[in-house]
Structure 1
Amino acid sequence: MLISIVAPCFNEEDVIGRFHEAVQKIAEELLPLGHDMEFVYVDDGSSDRTLTELERLAELDARVRYLSFSRNFGKEAALLAGLRHASGDSVIVMDADLQHPPELIHRMVELHAQGYDQVIAKRTRTGDRLTRTVTARLYYRLINRLVDIELIDGVGDFRLLSRRVVNAVLDLTEYNRFSKGLFAWVGFPSTTFEYENAVRAQGHSSWNFRSLLNYGLDGLLSFNNRPLRAALYLGMGLLLCTGLYTAWIVGAALINGVQTPGYVTIITAVTAAAAMQMIMMGIIGEYTGRIYYEVKGRPHFLIKATNVERSHDRPSCGGHAAKDLIP
Structure 2
Amino acid sequence: MPALSVVVPCLNEEGTLVELHGRLHEVAAGLGLGQGGLEVVLVDDGSTDATLDLARGLADTDPSTVVLRLSRNFGKEAAMLAGLRAATGDAVALLDGDLQHPPELLASMYTLLTTTDAEQVVARRDRAEDPFVRSVLSRLYYRLVNSLIETVRIQDGVGDFRVMSRAFLDALLALPERNRFSKGLFSWVGFPTATVSYRNVSRGEGRSAWTLRSLLNYGIDGALAFNTRPLRLLMHLGGWAVLAAVAYLVWLLVGYLLHGVTQPGYITTIAVITGLSGVQLLAVGVMGEYVGRIYQEVKARPSYLVHEVIRHEDGGSDDGTGGVG
Q: What TM bracket, shorter-length normalisation? A: over 0.9
Alignment of 1:17-28 (within 5 A): 17-28=18-29
TM-score, length-normalised on structure 1? 0.92
Structure 1, residues 128-159: CA drift from partner, whole Å, max 9, x if none? 11110000011111111111211111000000
Matches of 1:281 and 1:76 in 2, distance apart? 27
Q: Equivalent residue of 1:67, what SS? A: strand
Partner of 1:88: 89
Q: Is the Cα–Cα contact under 8 Å of residues 121 and 195 in structure 1 kept in the other structure? A: yes
Partner residue in 1 for 2:127: 125
- Corresponding position of 1:140: 142
Q: Name stretches of at least 5 consecutive residues in structure 1 with no aligned partner.
A: 310-323
Any unmatched runs of 5+ in structure 2? 313-320
The corresponding residue for 2:315 is none
Change (3 A) 1:124 1:35: farther
CA shift at 1:25, angstroms?
1.1
Query: Which residue is 2:64 aligned to?
Result: 63
Among 150, 157, 167, the residue aligned to 1:164: 167
Q: Alpha-carbon deviation of 1:31? A: 2.7
Residue 231 of structure 2 corresponds to residue 232 of structure 1? no
Residues 219-275 of structure 1, C-alpha deviation per residue, up to 9 Å, x if partnerless? 110011000000111011111111111222233323433443322211111111111
Q: CA contact under 8 A between 2:63 and 2:311: conserved in structure 1? A: no
Contact conserved, 1:6 with 1:41, CA < 8 A, in 2?
yes
Is the alpha carbon distance of 1:325 and 1:218 closer, same or farther for their aligned partners in structure 2, counting shifts above 3 Å?
farther
**Alignment check: 8 A CA contact 2:65 2:311 kept:** no
Structure 1 pair 36–152 and aligned structure 2 pair: CA distance change class (3 A): same
8 Å Cα contact 2:119/2:165 also seen in 1? yes
Q: Determine if the alignment matches structure 1 residue 74 to structure 2 residue 75.
A: yes
Aligned-partner residue type, residue 15 of structure 1? T
Q: Normalising to structure 2: TM-score of the pair?
A: 0.92
Q: What is the deviation of 1:299?
A: 0.4
Alignment equivalent of 1:115, drawn from 114, 117, 120: 117
For the residues of structure 1 that align with 2:311 and 2:221, how far apart are their CA atoms?
A: 31
Q: Greater CA deviation, 115-124 or 29-38?
A: 29-38
Q: Report SS of the residue matched to 1:166.
A: helix
* Aligned equivalents of 2:41, 2:164: Cα separation in 1: 15
Q: Which residue of 1 aligns with 2:281?
A: 278
What's the secondary structure of 2:133's corresponding residue? helix
Q: Does the residue aligned with 2:164 lie in a helix, a strand or coil? A: strand
Q: Give yes or no for the alignment of 1:150 onto 2:153.
A: yes
What is the CA distance between 1:32 and its match in structure 2?
5.3
The 10-residue stretch of structure 1 (83-92 or 256-265) with the greater mean CA deviation from structure 2 = 256-265
Q: 1:189 aligns with which of 189, 192, 199?
A: 192
Match of 1:314 in 2: none
What is the distance in 1 between the residues matched to 2:177 and 2:33?
40
Q: Distance in 1 between matches of 2:299 and 2:245?
A: 41
Take 2:201 and 2:212, find their aligned partners in 1: how far apart are those partners?
20
User: How many angstroms does 1:2 deviate by?
Assistant: 1.4
Length, aligned pairs only:
313
Q: Corresponding residue for 1:36? A: 37
Deviation at 1:175, TM superposition (A): 1.1
Match of 2:317 in 1: none
Map of 1:215 onto structure 2: 218
> Identity of counterpart residues, as a percentage?
47
**What are the residue-to-residue correspondences of 1:1-12 with 2, within 5 Å?**
2-12=3-13
